[in-house]
Amino acid sequence: MDAWRGRCLNIFARAEKAITETLALLRETDPTLPFEPLAGQRFNTLDKIALRCPATGAQQKGLQDALIAWRELDVLRPFFSHGIVTEMIGRTGQWHIQLDFIAVKKGQCQPQRLNWSNAEALEFEERLYGTFKRLTNQLGLLRKRSGSNQNSLVATEPKKPDPGSSPG
């Protein structure tokens, strides 16, 4: 369970790094771009400015699709970074994962919970990994179009999830 959570957190962290480094590069040509302290804020900034960068229609669509796909998964990041994981065994002996955390929205505490079977957890990891690959590929192309040859901006790739592994 902890290994599965760690692999997912690693993918989220590597995507955050790629987003931050892409924004840092874009700030070199436009120092007025905001450079916020929180990962979600940096993603929002990148999302707003990415389509203003020079690109063909197909390049813009590829980038926008990757950003949308990542946003759909990134909303689950707080469950991994702030949540409490509870391992459960169902009646059939299958492992289940429960992730709980308390979101604070507009000054109010809002308990949040996810319940996944072992299969759902592994499917999420595969989907997260594939979406990460797509996002970092598009960010790499964006950096290239922005005229960078800086090797430090290449996001290192996490190990691909082992399809036979279990989150437990």
Angle between helices 57-74 and 118-145 in degrees, nearest 10: 140
Q: Which helix (H) or strand (E) holds 127?
A: helix 118-145
Rounded average pLDDT over 43-57: 84
Residue identified by tokens 């990460």 is 132
Q: Provide the residue type at 78 as one letter.
A: P
Distance between CA 156 and CA 58 in Å, rounded?
A: 25
Cβ atoms of residues 90 and 116 within 8 Å? no
Distance between CA 137 and CA 22 in Å, rounded?
A: 12
Rounded average pLDDT over 108-115: 96
Tokens in use for 135? 């996002």
56-103 tens-digit pLDDT: 889 899 999 999 999 999 999 999 999 999 999 988 888 899 999 999
89 phi and psi angles, rounded to 5 deg = -120, 125
Distance between CA 135 and CA 63 in Å, rounded?
A: 7
Selection from 91-105, 120-134, 153-167 with the highest mean pLDDT: 120-134
Name the average pLDDT for the chain: 87
The strand pairing partners of 88, in sequence order, are 96
Domain range list for the chain: 2-150
